[in-house]
């Protein structure tokens, strides 16, 4: 029984900052020394990110964003007031693109790691979208950048359970709410990588004549890298959630990515024949995958495009990459999805264009 992504929608907040404006405002906001300012400019250039979006129109304005010393609760209130609306907008777009009756949605899954509310987004969407009161709900929280992979794995299992099931999966992340008011090198790097966004898909098996499958879900895999617990962490602090990234992350990924990719693709195709949909957690990660797997530029074009336009938006980023993949022609129908997150974990999906 074939399970497919039946629709896909993406959305970002209207407010955005280009690279030059981001550097200038961050430099002024933190009153960086000449040495710190030079480091920041070097880091931001090195990310390849040209623009990022935020739910906060001016994240460097204390009147609209929690100022120095304000606790996590202030940021959580912003999340509660903004995240459900963004999730609703992108979910509504996915449902409209799917074209089915909203009451035919049997399950709704919400993925997020940048905020947590109860009742969760998956519950709030019942009223906001007009879903059935008996819809099954699940929240997948705090899994980081590979959250969409876990969401799709669960959606696939639910679709296989009953061919009539239609699963709405929405990933909503407001990374900018966890901006840190500090000028350490680690913090400047983390502040330079992330943006806000949301993406949603409808997943189901045995597509009807009225449905238009985009990608079928053919395989999935996960690998917890040994000795990697301190390489990428995401913890709750007094001033928002704090990301800790080791410069050893690309090296660790590079050591395992080839055998992982080969094994995932092997039952169906040679992994070198695939379009790669790599979660662009950062420039170094994409470059590491490209080098280790001997990929040409076109195989990673979608990942580079998303990184330039949006930065790392955590869990929805992979769905943005899939959206870019679908916009581009390819000689091969196979798409190899790769994501990375706290653990350190490599997550993979093998998909096929319909």
Q: How does pLDDT run across 26-67, given as a tens digit for each residue?
A: 888 788 888 888 998 998 998 999 999 998 877 666 566 665
Given this model, what pLDDT does residue 68 score?
A: 55
CATH of the domain spanning 215-353: 3.40.47.10
Q: Which residues contact 118 (CB under 8 A, 6 or more apart)?
A: none
The number of beta carbons lying within 10 Å of the beta carbon of residue 185 is 11
Mean pLDDT of the 325-332 span: 90
Higher pLDDT, 240 or 114: 114
What is the per-residue pLDDT for 63? 62
Residue pLDDT, tens place only, 201-235:
999 999 999 999 999 999 999 999 999 988 887 77
> What pLDDT score does 327 carry?
95
Same fold for the pair 3-205 and 215-353: yes
Q: What residue ranges do the domains of the chain occupy? A: 3-205, 215-353
Mean pLDDT on 89-106: 96
- Residue 300's pLDDT is 95
Of the pLDDT bands very low, low, confident and very high (cuts 50, 70, 90), residue 82 is very high
Q: Pull the structure tokens for residue 56.
A: 């906060």
Please write the tens of the pLDDT for every residue from 272-296. 999 999 999 999 999 999 999 999 8
State the catalytic residues.
145
Cα–Cα distance for residue pair 199/322, rounded to 1 Å:
10
- Least trusted range by pLDDT, from 102-111, 141-150, 226-235, 326-335: 226-235
* pLDDT above 80 (res 130): yes
The average pLDDT across 161-185 equals 91
State the fold for domain 3-205: Peroxisomal Thiolase; Chain A, domain 1 (3.40.47)
Rounded to whole angstroms, the Cα distance separating 340 from 318 reads 10
> How sure is the predictor about 348, in pLDDT bands with cuts at 50, 70 and 90?
very high
Q: What rounded mean pLDDT belongs to the chain? A: 92
| pLDDT given for residue 66 in this prediction | 63
Segment 175-191 shows an average pLDDT of 83
**Peptide bond connecting 344 to the previous residue in cis, omega within 30 degrees of 0:** yes
* More confident site: 332 or 348: 348
Tell me if 312 sits within 8 A of 175, measured CB to CB: yes
Model confidence at 191: pLDDT above 90: no
Query: What DSSP letter does each residue of 117-144 carry, written as one string?
Result: -SS-HHHHHHHHHT--TT-EEEEEES-G
Of 159, 150, 192, 179, the closest CA to residue 36 belongs to: 192
Give the pair of three-digit tokens for residue 217.
């879900």
């Amino acid at each position: 029984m074939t399970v497919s992504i039946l629709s896909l929608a993406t959305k970002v907040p209207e407010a955005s900052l280009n690279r030059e404006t981001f550097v200038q405002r961050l430099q002024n906001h933190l009153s960086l020394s000449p040495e710190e300012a030079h480091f920041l400019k070097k880091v931001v250039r090195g990310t390849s990110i040209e623009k990022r979006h935020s739910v906060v129109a001016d994240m460097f304005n204390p009147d609209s964003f929690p100022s120095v010393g304000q606790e996590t609760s202030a940021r959580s209130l912003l999340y509660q007031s903004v995240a459900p609306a963004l999730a609703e907008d992108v979910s509504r777009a996915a449902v409209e693109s799917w074209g089915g009756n909203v009451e035919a949605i049997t399950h709704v899954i919400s993925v997020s790691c940048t905020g947590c509310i109860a009742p969760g987004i998956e519950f709030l969407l019942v009223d906001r979208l007009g879903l059935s009161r008996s819809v099954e709900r699940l929240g997948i929280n705090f899994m980081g950048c590979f959250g969409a992979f876990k969401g799709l794995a669960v959606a696939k299992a639910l679709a296989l359970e009953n061919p009539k099931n239609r699963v709405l999966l929405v990933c909503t992340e407001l990374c900018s709410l966890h901006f840190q008011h500090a000028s350490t090198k680690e913090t400047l790097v983390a502040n330079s990588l992330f943006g806000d966004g949301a993406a949603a898909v409808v997943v189901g098996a045995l597509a009807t004549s009225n449905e238009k499958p985009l990608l079928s879900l053919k395989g999935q895999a996960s690998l917890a890298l040994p000795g990697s617990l301190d390489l990428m962490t995401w913890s709750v602090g007094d001033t928002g959630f704090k990301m800790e990234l080791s410069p050893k992350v690309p090296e660790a990924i590079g050591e395992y990515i080839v055998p992982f990719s080969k094994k995932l693709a092997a039952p169906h195709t040679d992994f070198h024949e695939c379009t790669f949909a790599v979660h662009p957690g950062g420039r170094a990660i994409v470059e590491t995958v490209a080098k280790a797997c001997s990929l040409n530029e076109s195989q990673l074009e979608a990942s580079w495009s998303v990184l330039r336009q949006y930065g790392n938006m955590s869990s929805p980023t992979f769905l943005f990459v899939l959206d870019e993949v679908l916009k581009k022609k390819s000689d091969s129908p196979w798409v190899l999805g790769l994501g990375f997150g706290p653990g350190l974990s490599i997550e993979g999906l093998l998909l096929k264009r319909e």
